[in-house]
């Protein structure tokens, strides 16, 4: 993987960058749709290409359990298995083991856990996490980390940071495929000194990129932005910075100004299935009765397939009737909105007007539909 900074913002820490991988290149800041089990819910790979999506995220934990690494390997790797020709980033599964496993036991060697699917017992350590991701063939792989719960006391988070550093070192040692980029994950909860400790530990290993983990787990926005800002100071400027699991459009705009390059979140696809749609003037709840006879598109400034062909009235009808088409059309719109938002941010950085873009973005969000 190659990363280069194309342009820096004069009014903030935002920067325009470019990442090259074996399966193509993309500009940053970038939002990665979540295809947890090898599929972005309700849409196809062809839909994503048409929207202009360049990179997807998939999850090691879920793909390891189902359909299994052996199946994916026999089918030619994850790219071929899901018919996606662009770059793929795979999360190591540390967060899923923490949040989904019925029972888990953590040791220096790794995690023994019970599957959330059938209760079967499994073990994943740094070596196993790297081997699984090598079989998947993703372009960017994540080191195994230990995600502390929120809230958590200082001593627990300290142990979590030390364990994450130990596992990070072993992931570096077990990395076999030199075509794959390896990112380390900074932990430390909401404690400034532990975030600093984790960041400094991980930079010793010269990862290809650095992620901020253990955020968007229940903390308030001000706390999250403080942690991102403080931690960012201890991470190298010549490597991409990835904020995991964030977030709302306004969170992305703010985090870009703090120097974040990459994002992922289930919010656009999950909200689409729940009937909440994003527009340049805030969120729109399609089931509301005011849309019953509304012949306008979701967002008159949107160029997505859904807005080009269907009215709010029809989309409300589909959603209220629980037609499957509602989920697809809503998801296409929300993902297009997120992708266009990042494109607009990159354009604003390139043209030196990010501050004006931010002010206009938040002004329009307050106006509402």
> Which residue out of 47, 91, 177, 220 is catalytically annotated?
91
The rounded distance, in Å, linking the Cα atoms of 346 and 17 is 9
Q: Is 264 a catalytic residue?
A: yes
Q: Are 280 and 360 in contact (CB under 8 A)?
A: no
DSSP code string of 283-314: EEETTSGGGTT--S-S-TT--SHHHHH--HHH
Beta bridge partners of 263: 31, 243
Non-local CB neighbours of 220 within 8 Å, separated by 6+ positions = none
Question: Which among 132, 133, 149 is positioned nearest to 141, based on CA atoms?
Answer: 133
Q: How far from the centroid of its chain's Cα atoms is residue 22's Cα?
A: 20
- Distance between CA 75 and CA 177 in Å, rounded? 19
Residue 182 phi/psi, 5° resolution? -120, 125
User: Largest Cα–Cα distance in the chain?
Assistant: 61
Looking up tokens 């329009």 gives 364
CA distance 253 to 152: 28
- Whether residue 91 lies in the annotated active site: yes
R_g of the chain computed on alpha carbons = 20
Mapped onto helix, strand or coil, the DSSP state of residue 110 is: strand
> CB 236: neighbour CB atoms within 10 A?
13
The active-site residue out of 201, 264, 344, 369 is: 264
- Residue positions annotated with a catalytic role: 91, 264
């Amino acid at each position: 993987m190659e990363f280069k900074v194309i342009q820096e913002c004069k009014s903030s820490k935002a920067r325009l960058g470019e990442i090259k991988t074996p399966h193509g290149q993309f500009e940053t800041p970038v939002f990665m749709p979540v295809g947890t089990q090898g599929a972005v819910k309700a849409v196809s790979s062809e839909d994503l290409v048409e929207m202009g999506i360049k990179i997807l995220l998939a999850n090691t934990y879920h793909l390891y359990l189902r359909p299994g690494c052996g199946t994916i390997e026999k089918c030619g790797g994850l790219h071929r298995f899901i018919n996606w020709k662009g770059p793929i980033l795979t999360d190591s599964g540390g967060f899923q083991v923490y949040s989904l496993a019925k029972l888990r036991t953590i040791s220096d060697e790794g995690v023994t856990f019970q599957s959330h699917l059938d209760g079967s017992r499994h073990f994943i350590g740094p070596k196993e996490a790297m081997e699984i991701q090598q079989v998947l063939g993703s372009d960017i792989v994540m080191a195994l980390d230990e995600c502390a719960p929120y809230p958590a006391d200082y001593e627990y988070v300290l142990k979590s940071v030390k364990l994450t550093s130990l596992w990070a070192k072993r992931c570096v040692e077990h990395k076999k495929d030199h075509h794959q980029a390896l990112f380390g994950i900074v932990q430390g909860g909401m404690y400034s000194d532990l975030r600093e400790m984790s960041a400094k530990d991980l930079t010793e290993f010269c990862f290809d990129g650095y992620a901020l983990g253990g955020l968007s787990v229940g903390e308030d926005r001000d706390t999250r932005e403080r942690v991102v800002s403080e931690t960012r100071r201890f991470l190298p400027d010549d490597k991409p910075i990835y904020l995991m699991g964030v977030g709302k459009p306004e969170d992305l705009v703010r985090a870009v100004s703090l120097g974040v390059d990459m994002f992922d979140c289930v919010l656009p696809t999950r909200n689409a299935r729940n009937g909440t749609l994003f527009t340049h003037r805030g969120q729109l709840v399609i089931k509301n009765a005011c849309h019953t006879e509304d012949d306008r598109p979701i967002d008159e400034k949107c160029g997505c397939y859904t807005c080009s062909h269907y009215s709010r009235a029809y989309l409300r009808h589909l959603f209220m009737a629980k037609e499957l088409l509602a989920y697809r059309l809503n998801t296409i719109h929300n993902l297009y909105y997120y992708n266009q938002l990042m494109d607009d941010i990159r354009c604003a950085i390139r043209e030196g007007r990010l501050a004006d873009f931010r002010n206009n973005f938040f002004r329009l969000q307050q106006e509402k539909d």
